[in-house]
Amino acid sequence: MSTPILQTKSLCRSFGAVTAARDLDVTINPGEIVGVIGSNGAGKTTFINMVTGYLPPSSGQILFEGRSILGKPPRAIIRMGMARSFQVAQLFPELTVLENMLIALVAAEGPRPSFFLPMASAKRMRQAKELLAEFGVERFGDSVVSAVPQGARKLIDIAMALISTPRMLLLDEPTSGVSVEEKFGLMDTVMRAVRHHGVTVLFVEHDMEIVERYVSRVLAFYSGEIISDGTPAQVFADEKVRELVIGHGHGTEKKRNMA
Amino acid sequence: MTTFYAIFIDGMIYASWLFLVAAGLTVIYGVMRILNMAHGSFYAIGAYCAASMVGWYFSDFDGNPYLSYLLLIGCALVAGLVVGVVIEQGLLRFMYKRNELLMIIITYALLLILEDTTKLAFGVDPYFTYQPYALLGRSDIGGLAFANYDLLLVAVSAIIGLGCWLVLNRTHVGKVLRAVIHDREIAVAMGVNVRLMFAGTFIVGTTLGALAGALTAPSISVSPGIGVEVIVLAFAVVVVGGLGSIEGAIVGALLVGMTRSLAVHLAPQIELFVIYGVMSLVLAVRPQGLFGRTLARKI
Amino acid sequence: MIHIDRSMVGLAAATLILAAAGGFVPDWLAFILTLALAKALVVQGVVLQMRAGLVSFGQGLFFCVGGYAVGMGGHFFGINDAPVLLLAGALAAVALAAVLGLLMTRYRDIFFAMLSLALSMILFGVLVKSSELGSTDGFNVHPATFFGLSFKTEAYKTALYLLTVLLAGGGALVLHLVHHSGLGRMWEAIRENEIRVEYLGLSPRWLLYANYLLAAAFAALGGGLTALATGHIDPEMSFWTTSGEFVFIALLGGTSHVAAPMVAAVLFAFVRTYAIEFTPHTWQMILGFVLLGIIVFLPKGLWSLVRSEKRAKA
């Protein structure tokens, strides 16, 4: 068997009295599409934050493609081939969508950008427009990000993450803040792009419909622990999961009613 | 041993002066998140009002000299109240939505305006009002003479510090203020009238600034530029202690005051250097100041 | 490929016109312009930082280092050539910034503003107590030569004016390239969202370090030219109100074009000359009200009035 793309060994993290991660042993193999479910405060975002170096774990090991990433800052981990999106899209709000993409393209070329060559080169302009087209948001190219709708921002956020040609992508609630009508379209677009780039994906999601439809494997988190790991059918059938995770969330129902 | 006494007592005097100057600044920042560059101007206005009124009292009005202390404090209260109300109601309340950095620039603009207003109102010639200072005489402590007025300031400063602490920690208003300090949004959601709290805090802050100026007036020559010099000292104190914390301002004032006193007695050429040196050192080791809180950004 | 755009042609033309005008503008005007353009160089650095989201209330530190380097070079080291002195000042400032930058790049927002202020006040405190350097009075700067050539009074002023125009114009051209480069746009990205920059694989601290050094170099050039033009230096150059003036001019012009600081500095110089003459005690008040007006009505500075291209807001 090949080296797992991501592996954590007895990963722990607590915030004061709250345990956000307790002995997490996760192994993810190249090509998998993994969904992470769990109620609020179960430790899902903490997991992503630790794996991308934003938050140091209290103890434990994190290996990316067999190499430890412990103690490395996010930028170094990104350069190794990991990328992430954010629950609330992290963009450059007062710049245009095109400029956002151009900045990501410059960043992907190396850690020391040129101080005299213009950012908006013909080549980068072409690449940026292609990417925006791939994600179906090219019509927003010249708008400033703060004027773009939420769903498009999420797509731009993910598109920016993919510019560094990562081998693994972590998506933090890609459909949160997106309307019910838009969410499947958004996920279809994202998954098409992900398959096109051949990226392993782990995504955190509240919405069970989304999880069911797009993932090959589910991890169920409950108060910092993984209580179930398997195919969607197996995990959703698990008594503990039904009681502690799905029972808690009712995510889909609520969102539908509110929309 | 004499030097030790001198360093200690000079340090205490200087520290209590620093605290007086910084108290209003830290109160305003703590509640309103405004690092008020114009604080030095409030100090200057207080000093000018007190100096001119007390000067008039002694030259043209032959009253009981001890009543001049009441006049001193009265001037500060009136000046602080008037300036506070005018600025808060006339300008600042329209600016609250802006970020902290822009607020610095807005209060910088305010400082420029107040500097010239002071010049127009009081002229550019220095004012001397030594009478309240001289009136109290000197005391001999361990073979060294100290002005009683300066020693009195230590007590006044302690009272103000204690007063601030009591209001914040032992009263209902203080409880509400702490809620605003801790989380403004939740305080608003819980029905706290933040506008009123802000207005009140700002007026208390300006009055503290004016009081510091008025109490300092008898021991200095009141002339243009005193506010601009004082503001950076006040910054140093609150930054050392942690922005917005009263305990921090006390500790910051003691630390800066003692360090400066040490320098004045042992190495006078680095007197000015050490104040900002202490500030830079604290910031380098503990950016949030000795009593400050840090907030991590949630993503 | 560097693309030569309208702004660059315009800047080059303006520089040449200003330089040619040096032959016949009256002395007093040349003097005001020299000082204003020297100041504009410092402000370019302040703008550079503002584009990255940082406001320095202590840029007077490097301004002062540049000025004292020029003065001390002539006084203590027998160096009298203006370009050499200016270069020495810039190098001294960059060296200092290289050390301080390690600390400063950890701070943002009001902390950056306050710490920069404190550092400049440290230099002020040191200079005030240095009797060898004239304490609060400072000292006079020896007249300099230009590439080995020495000039008499009138020609000296013209030569200095020319040097200042060329440096201000050339500096603006360079900065125009920098602003539109990958690095320059990355500074804006940091201002907008530092966490994203980190997650694009870049080090915000490294990027801001470069920014800090460049701003310091520009401040020192401006300080050196100011010292040569006024023939005098004193610790006031490092006092925080000097830095406040740079911030004022930067906000007056806005950060959207490299010409803005120059226009703003010249405007500032003229208004000040007349205001101080006619209403000496309301000059700062005028500044204060103008500053409030800019913040409320023209948050992007005066330049936004002349800028034709507008960003589409969908």
Q: What is the average pLDDT value for chain A, to the nearest integer?
A: 86
What's the CATH number for A1-81+168-186+199-259?
Answer: 3.40.50.300
Is residue C132 classed as helix, strand or coil in its secondary structure? helix
Query: Could you tell me which residues are beta bridge partners of residue A9?
Result: A61
Tell which of C2, C3, C174, C199 to mutate to test the A interface (max A CBs under 10 Å).
C199
| Torsion angle, alpha carbons of C199, C202, C205, C210, to 10 | -150
Tell me the mean pLDDT in the region A111-121. 87
Which residues are within 8 A (CB) of C55 and not within 5 positions of it... i.e. 6 or more apart?
A: B101, B104, B105, C46, C49, C112, C113, C247
Tell me the mean pLDDT in the region A170-187. 86
Tell me the mean pLDDT in the region C272-282. 83
Out of B105, B280, B284, the one facing C295 most closely (by C-beta) is B105
- Assign C97 a pLDDT band (cuts: 50, 70, 90): very high
Contacts of A87 in chain B (CB under 8 A): 299
Question: CB distance from B295 to chain A under 8 Å?
Answer: no
Domain ranges of chain C: 6-303
Chain B adjacent subunits, 3+ CB pairs under 8 A: A, C
Cβ–Cβ under 8 Å, residues A41 and A33: no
What pLDDT, in 10s, does the model give residues B279-295?
888 887 887 777 776 65
pLDDT of residue A75: 92
Strands B221-222 and B144-147, by their bridges, are: unpaired
Tell me the mean pLDDT in the region A11-15. 86
Contacts of A204 in chain B (CB under 8 A): none
- Assign A249 a pLDDT band (cuts: 50, 70, 90): very low
Tokens of C307: 């800028």
- Assign C98 a pLDDT band (cuts: 50, 70, 90): very high
Inter-chain CB proximity C184 and A140 less than 8 Å: no
Contacts of C192 in chain A (CB under 8 A): 91-95
Between residues 216 and 275 of chain B, which touch chain C (CB distance below 8 Å)?
A: 228, 232, 235-236, 239, 243, 268-273, 275
Out of A106, A113, A118, the one facing C3 most closely (by C-beta) is A118
Contacts of B25 in chain C (CB under 8 A): none
Domain ranges of chain B: 2-285
CA separation for the pair C144, C30 (Å, rounded): 18
Least confident of B177-191, C21-35, C123-137: B177-191
Q: What is the average pLDDT value for chain C, to the nearest integer?
A: 88
Q: Match 């095109």 to its residue by tokens.
A: A98
Domain ranges of chain A: 1-81+168-186+199-259, 90-164
- Assign C304 a pLDDT band (cuts: 50, 70, 90): low
Nearest CA in chain A to C198: A75
C312: number of Cβ within 10 Å: 10
Which residues are within 8 A (CB) of B131 and not within 5 positions of it... i.e. 6 or more apart?
A: B54, B58, B65, B68, B218
Q: For residue B135, is pLDDT > 80?
A: no
pLDDT of residue B1: 62
Question: CB distance from A46 to chain B under 8 Å?
Answer: no
Cβ–Cβ under 8 Å, residues A215 and A47: no
Q: For residue B53, is pLDDT > 90?
A: no
Write the ipTM: 0.89
Nearest CA in chain A to C1: A117
B97: number of Cβ within 10 Å: 6
pLDDT of residue B198: 87
Chain A closest CA to B298's CA: distance in Å? 10
What pLDDT, in 10s, does the model give residues B178-234?
888 777 778 888 888 888 888 888 999 999 999 998 888 888 888 888 888 888 889
Question: CB distance from C202 to chain A under 8 Å?
Answer: yes
- Assign A255 a pLDDT band (cuts: 50, 70, 90): very low
Contacts of C251 in chain B (CB under 8 A): 105
pLDDT of residue A176: 83
Out of C110, C122, C125, the one facing B35 most closely (by C-beta) is C110
Burial of residue C281, with CB atoms counted within 10 A of its CB: 0-12 exposed, 13-18 middle, 19 or more buried: middle
